Amino acid sequence: MSGRKRHRLGEFFWSGASVASAAVDARHALLSELIDHAPLFPPASLPLDEALAEHEHARAGEHAWMLRRFVAPASRLAELGDGELRLSVVLDAPVALDDPRIEAVEVPPGVDDRPDVAEVYVEGRIESAFRAKVRCGGACIPTVEELAAFVRGCREQGVVFKATAGLHHALPTGGEHGFLNLLAACVFGEEEAALRDDAFELDGESFRWRGRAVGPDELAGVRRELFAGIGSCSFEEPVEELRALAIL
């Protein structure tokens, strides 16, 4: 879908199922639990109380089905209180990971620890025994070729990955990658072409690109087996981008 609104997409139904479940709506299959919410991190860098309030607002909103986890540094776990949260923890400091709310751990470059947690995302490299994490923005934005090579590497090695930083936009904007493009690269292959394009369409039946169409079951499989989702310091910005494209 380009910047023009080609047609209005109909309403769809959210069943409360995860992306691992069979889906009847392609938008649900592609976008469900897409966003790990990281308002404590730059560029938002919100104070903790504001970050938690913003997360609660997202959880109560119309598009809460797109929300996955709250991302927090390990060094700040003690500040989170005992509120209801699904957590992904970035290992910025040694800490006991005994909080039952922790569902995933993100390992920064240079950290050798690989915790005994169901989902461990290792940033900056692909390790077959763990999940991977790629940084798409910040101080260094990977080129289209570099990001395409990362996606292919994960696909070839059967490694699930998440992407973070610089992914507030659905389509490439201001030198940053688009998260819809990254989804297309995972779904359709032809990674370099998909990362550069803007000719995508998504409705209840399928995700479409250049005459190709993929339906809900296969989309759910891609999310389950290759692309876990994105980390974003904003939940509203990606949602508003999809609204502007008439996808939501």
91, two tokens? 């290992």
Q: What is the CA radius of gyration of the chain?
A: 17
Cα separation, 180 vs 1, whole angstroms: 10
Residues of the chain with pLDDT under 70: 1-23
DSSP the chain: --SS--SPPPP----S--TTS--S-HHHHHHTT-EEE-TTSTTT---HHHHHHHHHHHHHSTTGGGEEEEEEEGGGGGGSTT----EEEE-SS------TTEEEEEE-TT-----S-SEEEEETS--TTSEEEEE-STT-PPPHHHHHHHHHHHHHHT--EEEESS---SS-BTTBPPHHHHHHHHHH--HHHHHH---EEE-SS-EEETTEEE-HHHHHHHHHHTEEEEEES-SHHHHHHHHHTT--
Residue 198 to residues 79, 150, 161, 212, Cα–Cα distance (Å):
42, 21, 23, 14
161, two tokens? 């990955």
Percent of the chain with pLDDT over 90: 85
pLDDT for 86 equals 97
pLDDT for 17 equals 39
pLDDT for 144 equals 97
pLDDT for 19 equals 42
Contact predicate 176/147, CB 8 Å: no
pLDDT for 21 equals 39
pLDDT in tens, 78-107: 999 999 999 999 999 998 899 999 999 999
Mean pLDDT (the chain, rounded) = 90
pLDDT in tens, 27-46: 999 999 999 999 999 999 99
pLDDT for 16 equals 38
Domains of the chain: residue spans and CATH: 33-197+226-244 (3.20.20)
pLDDT for 164 equals 95
